Amino acid sequence: MLTKEELPECPVATTVQLIGSKWKLLILRNLLQRPWRFNEMKKTIDGISQKVLTDSLRSMEADGLITRTVYPEVPPRVEYALSDLGQSMRPIIKAMEEWGISYKKQL
């Protein structure tokens, strides 16, 4: 997780830095529904590579937006879920969804 000194001064720039990539937004969209396993998430995010998904999940975990739970099974099962901090992004993603619906209706 970045320190306050490492984050941009502008709060909008801070938010963009944390979730501004297309892939991170789609990962958040999925995780708002329920916890996901890596491969099932990869299947539902069209066009994302394994490397980009891995890097995005690691970054979001380091920023405190998601949690990674490893279950002691054979083979190991790993699930990703939103942390409390990630859950606090729900209104932002919902507003984006509503705006997208409204925009598509205008076309």
Q: What CATH number should be reported for the domain holding residue 60?
A: 1.10.10.10
Q: Specify the pLDDT at position 44.
A: 96
- Report the mean per-residue pLDDT for the chain: 93
What is the extent of the structural domain holding 24?
4-106
The answer to whether 79 touches 31, Cβ cutoff 8 Å, is no
The average pLDDT across 34-45 equals 96
pLDDT above 90 as % of the chain: 76
pLDDT of residue 56: 96
Q: How many domains does the chain have?
A: 1
Q: Which of 52, 65, 51, 57 is nearest to 2 (CA)?
A: 65
